[in-house]
Amino acid sequence: MGGQLQDGLIDVVAFAAGVPVPAVSQLEVQTDIRILEFTEAEQKKVMDAYPVSKFDIKAATYKSLKNDARAVSMWNFAIGGCNLDTDFVYNVMKTVLDNNDKMVSIHKAAKSTVKENWDKNTFMRFHPGAVKYYEEKGIKIPANLK
């Protein structure tokens, strides 16, 4: 799609990806692009209709952004079966969330893969191993999500 945009075959690309998106960074070096943002009303409408959260793309993310851009975020979730061992899930949570610097070294989007974002899940039940991890960190998971 980036190539089609650059060649003028399409005018707009909408996508979901972790920022910074390499294709966007490459496009803005090769051609003039404009990143469109939601109005507050548009953002609210999308958030009310879908399990997404408010998200601002920081101006420093892309050269073509002069100010932060209002967007929405579809959070990544690791999903596992109920029959997964509680200790296994707990250890995966601990490995990933207690080592954010290592995760960020792999992909910058991992900056938001932190325990403080547990509340972005408003609809899916947490595995008992995840509940154990979060509660160990002082985070109380609501009963309807256990």
- Portion of the chain with pLDDT greater than 70, in percent: 100
Q: What is the pLDDT of residue 20?
A: 87
Q: What is the pLDDT of residue 116?
A: 95
Over residues 107-136, mean pLDDT: 92
CATH number, domain 2-73: 3.40.190.10
Q: How far apart are CA 23 and CA 144, in angstroms?
A: 39
Over residues 111-124, mean pLDDT: 90
Q: What is the pLDDT of residue 15?
A: 81
Q: What is the pLDDT of residue 16?
A: 82
According to the 3-state scheme, what is the secondary structure of the chain?
Answer: CHHHHHCCCCCCCCCCCCCCCHHHHHHHHHCCCCCCCCCHHHHHHHHHHCCCEEEEECHHHCCCCCCCEEEEECCCCCCCCCCCCHHHHHHHHHHHHCCHHHHHHHCHHHHHCCHHHHHHCCCCCCCHHHHHHHHHCCCCCCHHHC
Question: Each residue of 48-73: pLDDT tens digit?
Answer: 998 888 899 999 999 999 999 999 98
What integer best gives the mean pLDDT of the chain?
Answer: 92
Q: What is the pLDDT of residue 39?
A: 97
pLDDT at 78 over 90: no
What are the sequence ranges of the domains in the chain? 2-73, 86-145
pTM above 0.85, yes or no: no
Of the pLDDT bands very low, low, confident and very high (cuts 50, 70, 90), residue 19 is confident
- Portion of the chain with pLDDT greater than 90, in percent: 66
